[in-house]
Each structure stands twice: as structure tokens, then as C-alpha cells.
A and B are shown apart, each in its own frame.
Chain A
Amino acid sequence: MTAYLAHFLVMVAIYSILALSLNLLIGYSGIFSLAHAAIYGIGAYASALAALNLGMGFWGGMVVAASVGALASALVAIPSLRVAGDYYVVASFGLQVVVLAVFMNWTDLTKGHAGLPGIPRPQLFGFVIDQPFEYVFLAAGFAVATWAICWRLTNSAFGRVLQAIRDDEIAAQAMGKNVVLVKIVIACISSALGATAGSLYAHYITYINPSSFSLHESIFIATLVILGGSERLSGPIVGAFLLLAIPELLKFMAIPDTIAAPMRQIIYGGLLVVFMLVRPEGILGRARHGR
């Protein structure tokens, strides 16, 4: 039972990192990305491959993961954010499709559907972290660090500019803010952070395959952000807790797998619609004037 709880908490921490980093885009910049699961996957594959093929350790792999994640995001952000918001939605979906195809089809590197087994557990100061409850501390530590980074970014002059761009791009330009550059920078930071979650996941589960990084997963991460509330930093974490608990609860009901999977999606999709209609500021958000 403790192992079960530990596993749940590790996953909450990993998804908190994903949701916090995606919220930098959705909540603080008003940019919607459909590629966060792909970025998560890039992080997982990059650090897994670095460990398996290059013998790199946990920390080195994480740096590789963050760099590759940021780079992939820049590749899409630079052309599409130059133009306008809607292009980015399409481009990020494109990134999601292309990255998933790479995971599945570049079999020499990624082993396709079979996935990559045998990813080593992380080592800290010569101490191997292989117990679930030990991993809780590691993952929670990363979640706190991510939270701190997001806090610094959003509670600063940079955060002020982000909000200004989100609320009125034209005014921000007229006040000398390089809107395109700021958007590209935040997209890269969001992806670098999202990729570290992938790295944590790969070294935790020790086996990855493409199915964990699909478009459904992207939508799921967005749901965490929106449900918890994108106006506050703590919103996504609350979202991660609640939404990860739902499938656990479904497990206790005797629902066959073929129904349970789409049932989860129905719940996520339904929550998105209902929250947009009834409470767009999320569970934790303050209701704002004029909304």
C-alpha cells in the first residue's frame, strides 16, 4: 500500500512539473500548445538514449533532455510565433505528430513500439535511488525547483512583460517589448522544463515506449492546467492531484479496460467543456471582472 501511494505521489510530482511548465504558455502567455506530451517524450527518450547508448548519468541525461526539448520547441516556435497565435496551435500539433512518428518509426534509434527497456535508476552521490518512496523525494524536489523557477519568471519584470503581451500585444510592442522574442524564449523554457519531467519519468519507470507521449497525453496535461486554474502557480499542481486520482478511482470500480480508457477521456473532455462554460478561471482561480 505504501508502494502504491509512493507511486501515485511520484506521478503527481512528474505531472505537476508538466502542468507547471505548460502553464507558462497557456496561463501566462496565452499561447496554446498541443505538443507538451511530445516534449515530455523528447525528454524521456533523450535521457534514456544518453544513458543507454552513451553511458551518461542521470544529471547529464537531464541536461541533454532539457536542451533537446528546448531546441525542438525553438524549431517550431521561431517560424510560427513570428506570425500569430493560431499558427502555433497548428505547428505544435505538427510537432506532436512528427515527434511521435520519430519515436515509432526511427526503429534503429528508438526501437519503435517495442520501446527502450533497462534505463538505469538515478544515482545521487553514489547512492542509487531505486525505492519508490526515495523517488518521491527526488521527484518532489524537482517539482519544487520547477515551481521556484516558474515563480521567479512570473513574479518579475519578465513576468510583467509576459502578462502585458498576453493581454495586449499591440500595446506591448508600442512600449518597446520584443513580443516575438519573449514568446520564443518562454516556449523554449516551458519545453526545457517539460523535458526534465520526461527524464524523471524514464529513470523512474526504467522502460519507455511511444504510447505514453500521444496527443491524448498532451490534451490531458492541458486539462490539468485548466482544471486547477491557470491564473495561479499552484493551480496546475492541484489539477495534477485531482486528475491523477480519477483513473485510480476508476480502477476500484469494476469497469472493463475497453470502456475505462475512453471513459477517462470523456471525463477529461467533459471537464474542459464544463469548466470553460462555467468556471474558466479553474478551481483555484479568482473570478475576474467582466468574465
Chain B
Amino acid sequence: MAAEPAILSVQGVARSFGGIQAVDNCTFDVQSGLITGLIGPNGAGKTTVFNLITGFLSADQGSIRLKGKEILGLAPHRVERLGVVRTFQHLRLWNKMSVIENVLLGCATTAGENVFSLFLRAGAVRAEEQRALDRAMEVLRFFGLVDRAHELAEDLAYPEQKLLSMARIFATDAPVMLLDEPTSGLDSESIDRIVPMVRRLVDHGKTVLLIEHNIELISELSDQVVFLHQGQVLAAGAPAEIMRDPALTEIYFGV
């Protein structure tokens, strides 16, 4: 295990819906500057773990710490401001807004979002909006979406929408990015476009936790893997180790 403390640490988290234990005594660490893959068969509780980390669900017990600070029980927007952002399986783009507006919503515009400064500090608001626009263009360039900046999000092709969903959270400057199936529903050509992008996120100082079904991709992409089954962590470690374990592959492929 790495010597430095984990940036995100999930400890003994449990959550049930009705009688179903969706997540049970779930414990794992995410190391700073690495890509961690969260894998497991359907219904293993992967998205539930995302919802718990980002504050969209409350836990029955346990603790989730970001850089040592408890974030479990905080509202989603507070979790985001502390530095954890996420994408959604169903993207949840603002379809009727333009591509650049989607990204601008991730950029820092505190003065422009404050009603008082909006009317009393017009100059500061204008300067900030200009900075945000520059930043948004820079992010769009990074994701190769500059040409599409003024189109509606819903008019993009699906692979580009996937990129946009990553671009808008990249714009927030939050260090921890949770990606919910970044390659699902894509053909191999588009996957080849997304994968290096995920790598480049880390080069830009991000920490990535991703849910992924494609085993090959996981091995290629992740620095470490957390294997979830029936809401519990069965194993965690280097991808090669996990893939070698016949018991795990059996669960995964449901043999």
C-alpha cells in the first residue's frame, strides 16, 4: 500500500433499501493521483457507493473521509465544494443549454451567482464571467469539443455527450472525479478516444474513481481495483492480481 494517506477513505459504510442490503460494511481507499476502478457484477452496489460518497444518499452507518474530513451526511453541493465531483450513468447534461453553458456551470462564478454582487459589483462580475469563459474554452479544447461550443448539448453525438459530461466536472477544479461508466454504450473507436482522456485527467493532478464493466479496459486503465459483490468489498489490489483470482472471475462472469 502507498505510504501517503488515502485522499478518499470509505470505512464500514452500509445502506439498505427496504429489506435489501445494497451496501454492507464497505471499506476501501482511493489513493491520490491514481485511477481506481470499482468493479463487480450488476447489482453489486457500485452506483449506490457513488451516491453515498457524493451525498445523494444517506448511509445507515460508516464513515467517508475526504483528506481526513468527514463528508458523509453533507448535502451534495457541499461535497462538491469540498472537492468530489461525479458523472452520471445517464449523463444528466443540461440538454437545452449550449455545450459551453454546460461547462460554464462548472467554472467558478461566485460573484455572478450572488444576487447582491450581481447588482452592486458589476465590474467584478464582468471580469469573472470573462475568466470563466476563457476557462470553459480551455476545458473544451482539452476535451476536443471547441467546435461544438455553441451547439445545444442534446445535439451532440453520444460519445461527445460523454466527453461533455466529463468536461463540465473537470472545469470545477475539484481534485476527485467519480466517473460512472465512462465508456458504456460506446463503439471501440469512441472508447479509444475516451481512454487516453481519462489518463490525461491524472496527468492534470486529478484522482479518478471509476465504475467500469469492460474488464480489459479496467486492467489497462486502473492503477488499483476494488471488487464489489453484494455490497461488500471482496478484494482490492492491483488489476493483474484481481484478474488472476479464479473465484472473483467466476463471480464476475457468473459462471
**A positions within 8 Å CB-CB of B:** 149, 152-153, 156-158, 160-161, 163-164, 167-168, 170-179, 182, 185, 189, 288-290
Residue contact B92 to A168, C-beta cutoff 8 Å: yes
**Pick the contact of B93 from A157, A171, A179 — CB < 8 Å?**
A171
Question: Is B88 on the interface with A (CB-CB < 8 A)?
Answer: yes
* Given A157-B129, A158-B112, A171:B81 Cβ within 8 A: no
Q: Shortest distance in angstroms between B211's beta carbon and chain A's nearest beta carbon?
A: 15
* B residues less than 8 Å from A185 (CB atoms): 115
Which of B15-23, B97-105, B198-206 participates in binding chain A? B97-105
Residue contact A170 to B92, C-beta cutoff 8 Å: yes
* B residues less than 8 Å from A152 (CB atoms): 118-119
Closest 9 CB pairs of A and B: A157-B112, A176-B80, A157-B109, A173-B76, A171-B92, A157-B113, A176-B77, A178-B77, A167-B94
* Given A156-B118, A158-B115, A174-B80, A164:B92 Cβ within 8 A: no
Which chain B residue has the least Cβ–Cβ distance from A290?
B154
Name 20 interchain pairs, CB-CB below 8 A, sorted by A.
A149-B119, A156-B125, A156-B129, A157-B112, A157-B118, A157-B129, A160-B101, A160-B105, A164-B94, A167-B97, A168-B94, A171-B88, A174-B86, A174-B92, A174-B169, A175-B168, A176-B81, A176-B85, A176-B174, A185-B115
Number of interface residues of B (CB under 8 A): 38
Question: Is B172 on the interface with A (CB-CB < 8 A)?
Answer: yes
* A residues less than 8 Å from B118 (CB atoms): 152-153, 156-158
Q: Shortest distance in angstroms between B171's beta carbon and chain A's nearest beta carbon?
A: 9
* B residues less than 8 Å from A153 (CB atoms): 115, 118
Give B127-165 interface residues, CB cut-off 8 Å to A: 128-129, 132, 152, 154
* Given A157-B129, A174-B88, A163:B80 Cβ within 8 A: no
Which chain B residue has the least Cβ–Cβ distance from A176?
B80
Beyond the given pairs A161-B105, A171-B88, A171-B93, 6 more chain A to chain B contacts, judged by CB atoms under 8 angstroms and listed by A's residue number, are: A149-B119, A153-B118, A160-B109, A164-B94, A173-B80, A176-B80
**Pick the contact of B105 from A156, A164, A288, A289 — CB < 8 Å?**
A164
* B residues less than 8 Å from A174 (CB atoms): 54, 56, 76, 80, 85-86, 88, 92, 169
**In whole angstroms, what is the CA distance A290 to B125 when docked?**
34
Q: Shortest distance in angstroms between B87's beta carbon and chain A's nearest beta carbon?
A: 8
Q: Shortest distance in angstroms between A263's beta carbon and chain B's nearest beta carbon?
A: 38
Residue contact A167 to B54, C-beta cutoff 8 Å: no
**In whole angstroms, what is the CA distance A9 to B243 when docked?**
77
Question: Is B182 on the interface with A (CB-CB < 8 A)?
Answer: no
**Pick the contact of A175 from B56, B96, B106, B111 — CB < 8 Å?**
B106
**In whole angstroms, what is the CA distance A290 to B154 when docked?**
10
* B residues less than 8 Å from A161 (CB atoms): 105, 113
Which chain A residue has the least Cβ–Cβ distance from B76?
A173
Which chain A residue has the least Cβ–Cβ distance from B93?
A171
Residue contact B93 to A175, C-beta cutoff 8 Å: no
* B residues less than 8 Å from A170 (CB atoms): 56, 88, 92
Q: Shortest distance in angstroms between B104's beta carbon and chain A's nearest beta carbon?
A: 6
Q: Shortest distance in angstroms between A255's beta carbon and chain B's nearest beta carbon?
A: 43
**In whole angstroms, what is the CA distance A86 to B183 when docked?**
36
